[in-house]
Amino acid sequence: MSNRVVITGIGWVTPLGHDIESVWAKLLASECGIGPTTHFDATTYPTQFSAEVRDFDYRDFVTRPEAHEGVGTNTSFALGAAVQAWRSAGLDRFDALDHDRLGIYLGSGEGSLDFDHYVASHLGGWDTEKRRVDGAKWANVALKELSAVHEIEQEPNMPLSHLAMEFDAFGPAYNCLTACAASTQAIGEATEILRRGDADVMIAGGAHTMIHALGVTGFNRLTALSTRNDDPKTASRPFSHTRDGFVLGEGAGMLILETLDHANARGAKVLAEVVGYGSSADAYRITDIHPDGRGAVASMRQAMSAAGVGPKDIDYISAHGTGTKENDSTETRAVKAVFGEHAGQTPISSIKSMIGHLIAAAGAVELITCVLAIRDGKLPPTINLQTPDPECDLDYVPNQSRDAKVDVALSNSFGFGGQNDTLIIRRPDR
């Protein structure tokens, strides 16, 4: 018989702050963390705003700052969120942990060199006509100026490596790169590791930023980003008839997962139980979701089957809800296909309307809101939803949070390339 898996700790770093309670209060108050981009000069870009993490220093969290000198942004976010989750779970006060059975599973993405810094300092700026730099000059500067550590820290497995050092995690260590579905997949796969008995405790989640010149350029070329530069705080508007793309965010979300037996043995407080996980691929197009949402349908049905629940049992859906035309209407169709007559009765919302799209970290942060919804009986809203799209006709908890009893919650994440992942958690006393 497989082990039951529970969540005992949570932590995040977000554009609204970097502690659980204050950020949760802001989400429930419909506050928005989107504003003009300051990480680089975006004044000539089609999109000049984003949801940036501010006033954050990972050294305020870690116990071994000397081990993490020169870390990349992704890693710094991961460290801050993971230390919060570790303390939330009470593992900082537990001396009997078997570190050989402590593992890590992260969803992450590529790091980025500080392009604008080197361009401005060494190459005299961008060619504003062609938006490029001279490749030969760039290579020459890179060889002279970039340290080996700086290069290594851009690798997507670096957050995992630094977490392993911080927590002496000698057990299973995995990293997945499934774009916007990455941290949801990481949590699901970490759950499977615990169920089959290969670890007692897993640190799982994701960390990412793409708020840099290359990231914004790429998404602008894909026409995926909102260009509502005149009013950034209303730019992220999932399910709205006037939506024009998503808003880039950044940050991290980390959870401590344990077998129920291990959590009970050490007297841990259980926040929620992970009961369902589903994963699928669209096998359609790299940048487009299948119009029928077949992959989303499959991942939701897998998760519900694994959890042993039906549509009427789900009390809340945390939507992928990016704010692009295709995603929101397709996710709506997929929910209708899975939930049938219960689709309109099940509240669904997208916190991307307030913190933007954290890409590889999005799913973990959104699952944490499901944990808090179960704990507090409150649903975060989808803000900026004044003009609903006729194709998006479900209950998206528009504009204001809502009181609701939540025993079972479902969280969706769909990634570029057609990856789809769904998690279901439930109240621990059920």
- The residue from 180, 208, 212, 370 that is catalytic is 180
- The residue from 176, 208, 320, 370 that is catalytic is 320
How many Å apart are CA 92 and CA 70, to the nearest integer?
A: 25
Q: Considering Cα of 171, then 206, then 62, then 155, what sign does the dihedral take?
A: positive
Whether 32 sits among the annotated catalytic residues: the reply is no
Contact predicate 372/324, CB 8 Å:
no
The strand pairing partners of 382, in sequence order, are 398
What is the three-class DSSP state of 257? strand
* CA 124 and chain centroid, separation: 36
Helix axis angle, 182-195 to 362-376, nearest 10°? 70
Side chain identity, residue 125: G
Contact predicate 323/245, CB 8 Å:
yes
Helices (H), 197-257: 213-221
Helix (H) or strand (E) segment spanning residue 105: strand 102-108
How many Å apart are CA 313 and CA 43, to the nearest integer?
A: 48
- The residue from 18, 290, 357, 370 that is catalytic is 357
Whether 117 sits among the annotated catalytic residues: the reply is no
Catalytically annotated residues: 180, 320, 357
